Amino acid sequence: MSSPIICLGQQPCGIFPRRFLFAKFQTARRLQQEIGGEIVFFYHDSDHDPRETVTILRDRHTGEERRLNFDFANKTQKLFSPLFAKRVLGDWQQKMARQLHQYVAAPLAEVFEQVKADNVADFCLQMYDRMGLTTGMRIVRSGDPEVRSRANDIEDYFVDVQHEGELVRARRDGERLRLHKGGNAFIDLPMQPHDKTQISPTRDTRLRWMQSVISCTHYVAGAGEIQYLNTAEAPDVQFVTRDAISESDRAYVPDA
């Protein structure tokens, strides 16, 4: 029998990870202690939603909550670029560092200052690693061209293309590409030639696309995620709901 492969998936979800991701990490490590094997973190860095990296912190003295996020170069990049292509602006880290001592303990603020990354996805992953959360895990990134090349073909997907000087993630819709502005508003782009290295999955095709590369035996799913996953697509996978955690959408900041 092959060794277990325990997988959890998540897009970058904050400068400091949200508590639900911490719970996924903890659940995966507990499962590994029980059955052995390796943990694979499927890092969905090709997601483009800027709301994913909002970080909710609480003032250490007043208890007041604050929502922090990266600064973005322009509106096109903010709304439509994959997280691995959203640039970290030169002075953003310094400005943020001056605020952080209100919300986190000094050692964690120092970790933040030590990160060196030029895009949002790399910055978040480095933070999680420096916090010790991903130590020993194998990282598989949805934006990695080599990973995309190995993945099975899917019928519903996004395509990375150029628009207004930025790399954007456009949904394929028949013979056109669409950027969703919100509500019923879209920007339609002409279909462009593309190959597998430009393709990333939608919510409904992500599981089988990911599984075609990782071949996990166990998958740690979020409380909401387990509701929409089509588990019948992966009959050989044992799905485990992550452990419960309070204030799941707030940032995980140890010794805040």
In this prediction, residue 237 carries a pLDDT of 97
Whether 186 contacts 180, CB under 8 Å: yes
Q: Do the strands 176-182 and 166-173 form a parallel or antiparallel pair, or are they unpaired? A: antiparallel
Least confident of 78-92, 169-183, 221-235: 221-235
Phi-psi region of 240 (alpha: psi -120 to 50; beta: other; left: phi over 0): beta
When pLDDT is cut at 50, 70 and 90, the band that residue 226 belongs to is confident
- Whole-number Å distance between alpha carbons of 94 and 187: 35
- Whole-number Å distance between alpha carbons of 51 and 53: 5
Q: Calculate the dihedral angle through the C-alpha atoms of 86, 92, 98, 99, rounding to the nearest 10 degrees.
A: -50
Burial of 37 (0-12, 13-18, 19+ CB in 10 A): middle
Whether 11 contacts 246, CB under 8 Å: no
pLDDT in tens, 121-168: 999 999 999 999 999 999 999 999 999 999 999 999 999 999 999 999
pLDDT in tens, 74-107: 999 999 999 999 999 989 999 999 999 999 999 9
Is residue 255's pLDDT more than 90?
Answer: no
What's the pTM? 0.95
In this prediction, residue 247 carries a pLDDT of 96
Q: Do the strands 157-163 and 138-141 form a parallel or antiparallel pair, or are they unpaired? A: unpaired
Burial of 38 (0-12, 13-18, 19+ CB in 10 A): middle
